[in-house]
Amino acid sequence: MKVVNVGLIGLGTVGTGTLRILQRNSQEITGRTGREITVTRVAVGDLNKQRDADLEGIVLSGDPMDIARDPAIDIVVEMIGGDDIAKEVVLEAIRHKKHVVTANKALIAVHGNEIFALAEKHNVAVTFEAAVAGGIPVIKAIREGLSANRIEWLAGIINGTCNYILTRMEQDGLGFAEVLSDAQALGYAEADPEFDVEGIDAAHKLTILASIAFGIPLQFDKLHIQGISEITIEDIEYAKELGFRIKHLGIARSSDAGIELRVHPAMVPVDRLIAGVNGVMNATLVQSDAVGPTLYYGAGAGAEPTGSAVVADIVDVVRSMGDIGENSGASPVPQLGFLPGSMPDRQIVPIEDVETAYYLRMKVINRPGVLAAITKIFGDSDISIATILQKSHGANNTEVTIIMLTQIALESNLNQAVTHIRKIDSVTSEIQSIRLENLA
């Protein structure tokens, strides 16, 4: 039996999980591939650090380029993260005709077009299932399982940190800052949480999903990105009263105007399956023309859930290799699901041209004519109001919180209306707006 030699670059949480699975399930993996898969080299940042992994027979290196250039290595598994050193290592591995498996969403979202072009030139595979939604095989499901379908839209809870924070805010009645502090103590959020809570991590993942779903180039720089730091417990309570739940979503939608790519908080009807996805769990809902809606749910992070996806990619690569050194080319499935040059580069719809419904919240002085002035501005901006709630507070009810749900409207029209409403003297607070997504 021929042996496939694997080099791991990075032995953090995911790297350790990957190594454990390869070692523990070696018999099953060999039965699925017909090959013995052996980790022979591992590159780490600190050679002296004690690690919770069985490293017997494995050569440790402090330089990831050692693995990228080692002629005995067949598959390089990159798990160091970021898009600087990781990019150089991956490109070097491809130049040395090695297949690459990565869990690095930033690398693929930002540099994937360049990486895939080089991989095609050198006839090697680059796989990245673990880059999106951890252990959920959503990339394979869209790229292969739904290949007979035209994808209409997808919406995903694809960042566990944001989902955990919003869940705790709703269930425990706590504010954003307090829950974020708890999430950091539990290890769900980093010491610097901006990457997660401001939507950048989810945007990297949505970039990849949209490219696979619609056959478009990876275009991270064209996404609309908004995080959850401005969501208040007030908004969560009013959403519940109105029959909605606030979730942080990545949304990609195909329309006659082009492709919408947006990451932001959204109010979702409570009876939608995705609205019930809580804690650190991930889920992606995909609407296709033939099969209809399909939902992919599971653990979006963690050592072994993400390691499971990495090992599944290794298995796919090994199955495609033929005899080692002979016909050991790339997988017959295109990296992003579509053959290069087979699909037109469709327009990315600017956020100002997106149409959706909205929730708005503002405080005003309780005096005659204020509500009429606000609704007139909406009417002048071609926005119809679906629901209005008023909540009186303050001494003698001198101040009122107004909550509105609009019908579907153009984002630029809403922005215009909000600009005019801010100029009304009786409006005493910032105007909170959250998009409504029916997902039906």
Question: How far apart are alpha carbons 180 and 138 in whole angstroms?
Answer: 28
Q: Is residue 182 within 8 Å of 146, Cβ to Cβ?
A: no
Q: What residues pair up with 390 in beta bridges, in sequence order?
A: 402
Q: What residues pair up with 76 in beta bridges, in sequence order?
A: 7, 100
Q: Regarding beta strands 399-406 and 75-78, do their DSSP bridges make them parallel or antiparallel, or are they unpaired? A: unpaired
Residue located via tokens 């599944």: 312
Of the residues 87, 98, 205, 363, which is catalytic? Answer: 205
Question: How far apart are alpha carbons 129 and 428 in whole angstroms?
Answer: 48
Exposed, middle or buried, 264 (CB in 10 Å: 0-12/13-18/19+)?
Answer: buried
- Other C-beta atoms lying within 10 Å of the C-beta of residue 289: 11
Question: How far apart are alpha carbons 294 and 224 in whole angstroms?
Answer: 25
Q: What torsion, rounded to 10 degrees, do the Cα atoms 135, 140, 142, 144 define?
A: -160
205 is catalytic: yes
Q: Is residue 130 within 8 Å of 77, Cβ to Cβ?
A: no
Give the active site residues: 205
